[in-house]
Structure 1
Amino acid sequence: MKNTQFIRQWIMFLMITLLASMAFAKDNIGIVPANELPQEAQTTLVLIKHGGPFPYEKDGVVFGNYESRLPKQKRGYYHEYTVKTPRARNRGPRRIIAGGVPESSGEYYYTDDHYESFRRIKE
Structure 2
Amino acid sequence: MTRRRPLPLALAALALALPALAGCGGPSGPSAPGPSAPGPSAAVSSARPSGGWVPSSSALADVCRSALPRQAADTLALIAAGGPYPYRSDGVVFENRERRLPRQRSGYYHEYTVTTPGSADRGTRRVVTGAAGEQYWSADHYGSFQEIDSRC
Q: Which residue of 2 aligns with 1:98?
A: 129
State how 1:15-34 maps to structure 2 within 5 Å. 28-34=59-65
Q: Distance in 2 between matches of 1:35 and 1:27?
A: 21
Look up the match of 2:47.
Answer: none
Written as runs of structure 1 = structure 2, the 5 A alignment for 1:34-113 is 34-100=65-131, 105-113=132-140
Bigger Rg, which one: 1
Q: Residue in 2 aligned with 1:3? A: none
Q: Partners in 2 of 1:27 and 1:69 — Cα distance?
A: 12
Q: Does 1:116 align with 2:143?
A: yes
1:21 matched residue in structure 2 = none
Could you tell me how far 1:67 is from its partner in structure 2?
1.3
Paired AA for residue 148 in structure 2: I
- The structure carrying a bigger helix percent of its residues is 1
Give TM-score scaled by structure 1 length. 0.73
1:34, distance to aligned residue in structure 2 (A) = 0.5
Aligned pair count reads: 94
d(CA) in 2 for partners of 1:76, 1:38? 27
TM-score (normalised: structure 2)? 0.60
Aligned-pair distance for 1:27?
Answer: 6.2
Runs of 5+ consecutive residues of structure 2 not aligned to the other structure: 1-56
**Percent identity for Structure 1 against Structure 2:** 51
- Residues 22-71 of structure 1, C-alpha deviations (whole Å, 9 max, x = no match): xxxx9621101111100000110011011001011100000000111000
Post-superposition Cα deviations, 1:51-106, rounded to whole Å, max 9, x if no partner, equal 00101110000000011100000000000000000101100000000000xxxx43
Is the 1:27–1:70 Cα contact (8 Å) retained in structure 2? no
